[in-house]
Structures are given as C-alpha cells and as structure tokens.
Chain A
C-alpha cells in the first residue's frame, strides 16, 4: 500500500428507531487526500459525519479514525480532527475575535500562533475590520465565513467540511478553496468534505463517494464516475446515479427522535 488509510469505516449503521439513516456503509480515506462525500439531501451524509466526529454513537459497525475508535477513545479522535459544521455553531454574543480565540484555546494552540493565525484567517475571509463586533450583528454570509475561518484555525490532521461554502459568493468560495488546498498540500491535511456544488467537488476532490438512502452507491475518482455513467461532468454523473427526483430534507436526528417519541407516547395512551 502506497499510503495508509486515515479513516476506515466498515459496515457502519445508524438507525433512529425504525428509520435507517446510514445502512451498512464501508469506505476508507487515505492520509493526505481530499475526499468528497456526496449525496442528495437526507441521504445520510451528516449522520455519517456526526458518527465520525464522536457526536453520535453508531448503532453497529466500526470506525477507525487516525488509528482510534471514536466510541472507545473519543478524546484521541477529537485531537485528530477539525470540523466546519453544516449548521451554525458560533456564539453570537461573543465577538468574531473571541469566537476565534476561544476555539484556539479549546484546541490548545499557544498564544503566539493563535494571534498570528487569527489575523491571517480573518483577513482571508475579510472580517478583520469587524473582529471586535458581536457575531449577532453579522449577515449570514459573514457568519459562514467566520465559521470556516474558525474551523481552519488549529490545522488538524483531518478536516471535516460539511457543506462549507453554502450561500457564499464565488469570490469567497474560490479564496476559501485555495486556502484549503494549500493546507492540504503544505501540511498534508486530509480533507473530508460534503457539498452540493458538483463543480467544486470535481475541481478539488481526489476521490468521491456518493451516498443515497443511507447506502454508498458508487466510489471513485471524478473521471472514473464520468466514464462509468458516460457523462461529461460530475453533475451529470451525480444526476445519472441518484435520479432526478427532488428530495425533502429529512428532519434532523433530534427532531426525528422527538417525533417518534411523541408517536410512541400517543400509542401507549
């Protein structure tokens, strides 16, 4: 083997009562590669990321991330990755600078490096002039940019990006992808990303897996997927593989559990 797998997933399954969000999926990500995990809304992408990042316990199956099991040694796993969540996760009462600084402290970055990187990143996402403003005064795009900058602060071994560029303009997207690619090349950071922008995935990803209805339906390089489906773009390949139906976003895990609990209670009465 030329390089080692930094993420190894076997037969991973997550069910919420009767609903199977992730259904016996297996895949691996090599150290240093940019891996795109694609799929329609509600296919099981975020549930998978939540399990990889210790936020959810798998129903069954095995995950090895940077040599560690997220269920048995969550702390070791948490030292190995950084994440930009799909949903906002900033403290809106704090300033942009405080959000960055506290993140740095949580990840044990020394003050010198913290100060230097925060300035560098806030300038890249063009929020340096607004660093002393509370985040609640920011627009949606500004919050998103801050969130990405924060995720890039601690230079982890593996970086999870869950639809990082959603709602950003092309200029910002291009800047951010350049920075991420730079991080991938200079520090060998493994990137695990999901996105709905197929041209982004095609441009940056070394390998792609497409998940639908909780199952991985195809894996390969962008070129392999295009050849396999006889299409000229990744977007074409994606639609050929997952169909043309529009998916409703499944309610998130919490809402699902709550809904089911309500139904359960009603039946009991």
Chain B
C-alpha cells in the first residue's frame, strides 16, 4: 500500500511543481468556452435549447479530464527515457502496485485539472442547478479520470516512442470526445451517431456530469455509474496486464 501511495504522491509533486503545466492546460478549455460557448450560444438559444454555457460546461470539464488523463500515460515514456522506470521495475514490488500508483496519481491530477476547469466555467457564467449534487459529480469525474489514465498507461506500456504515442492518443480520443455528446445533445441525432455514442464510454461520463450538475441525463445516472464503473475496472485490469509485460 505504501508503494502505491508513494508513487501517487510522486505524480502529484511533479504536477504541482510544474506551474507551466497547470496554467498551459487551461488554455484549451478556455478557448472552447469562448469559441463554442459564446460563438454557438445564440444559435443554441434561438433553436430552443436554453443557455448553451449551461449545457457545454460539463462537456468541457469532461474534456479536460479526458485529455489530462490519457496524456498522463506519456509519463511512462518520460520515465523510460530518464531511466526512473527501471528504478521502479527492479524494485521488489509488484508491477500491479506500480501501475496502480501511477494510474491513481495521473487520475488525481486529471481530477484536480477538472476541478480547476469547473471553477473556470463558473467564472464564465456556468451555474450548477443543484449545489448539493457536486460531490456526486466528483465521483463521475474520478471514474472518467481512472478509466482514461489506465487507458493511457496501457497504451504507453507497449508504444515506445513519444510521437507514436501522441498520434495514437489523438486518433483515439478525438472521436471519443466529439461523439460523446459533450458539445451537442444526443437527442434527435442520426441513428448511426446515436449507436456510436451508446458504445462510447465517455458518453456515460459526460452524461453523469450533466445529470448531476444540470439535472439533464440522457442515459440516467445509475446506468452511467454502472457502465463507467465496469469499464474502469476492465481498463485497469488490461492496463495492469500490459504494464506487467514491460521490458527495458
């Protein structure tokens, strides 16, 4: 347990020591708020959807967690390059503990990032309908973060070069994000898009956040929780297996 804790703590220390990383990663969500929120807002309202910022904010929070989480897998590659990975791999601790420590560390960073973006969304005008639901929203944020950090770590376990990792991650998370309902409602969409969204794990994360923050769930909060929970466990197991096969 102590090993998982220490590797978790290490990720957090690295994150909080890099001010550039914290500030830099706020640029993208801010851009989405300005370009989409203020750009499409009037059209969305005219179409009868209500306040677009209200609808968009949970999607942008999800986006920042998704990106931070999956890209945290790249730390495995940095550690490989700087040798620290070897230091942990020869230590008398199980690979499962190392993988869990890294994943929980990366996931915590992603959740912190998500909370910062949440505050940012409040500044640009987002108002959660029910404040008491925010702790529940946090649970969905944690599930999204664990799922996608584990995914990033799993992929980083068998991809060795940085460019390759970035290309694969972008190829994977862009469709996940755009077809998750983060930017537009899933109601009244072409059938093909709805089917794709139904098998997209991120759609359940977005839905969970929207259900808790603005009381507007498409699948329902219980379904969201069960689907995300199962996927998180599955990806963690797969990631732990792939991580245990690493050779240096």
Contact = CB atoms under 8 A, between A and B. Distances in A.
Given A98-B13, A102-B6, A105-B6, A79 B92 contact: yes
B17 A55 contact: no
Contacts of A94: 10, 13-14
A55 B10 contact: no
A239 B10 CA distance: 46
B83 A106 contact: no
A254 B160 contact: yes
Nearest to A92: B82
Interface in A210-225: none
B160 A106 contact: no
B92 A75 contact: yes
Nearest to B2: A105
A258 B159 CA distance: 11
A41 interface: no
B89 A106 contact: no
Contacts of A258: 160-161
Contacts of B161: 258
Interface string B230-248: 0000000000000000011
A78 interface: yes
A70 to B, nearest CB: 10
A178 interface: no
Main secondary structure of the interface of B (DSSP, over half): helix
Interface string B78-92: 010011101111111
A1 B91 CA distance: 32
Interface in A232-252: none
Interface string B1-22: 0110010001001100110000
A103 interface: yes
B223 interface: no
Given A55-B247, A93-B13, A83 B90 contact: yes
A54 interface: yes
Chain A interface extent, by class: 20 to 34
A31 to B, nearest CB: 19
B90 A53 contact: yes
A93 B3 contact: no
Contacts of A90: 82-84, 87
Nearest to B246: A55
A253 B92 CA distance: 23
Given A87-B83, A102-B6, A258-B160, A93 B90 contact: no
A88 B10 contact: no
Given A94-B10, A106-B93, A254-B160, A55 B248 contact: yes
Contacts of A103: 87, 91
B170 interface: no
A50 interface: yes
B28 interface: no
Interface of B: 2-3, 6, 10, 13-14, 17-18, 79, 82-84, 86-94, 160-161, 247-248
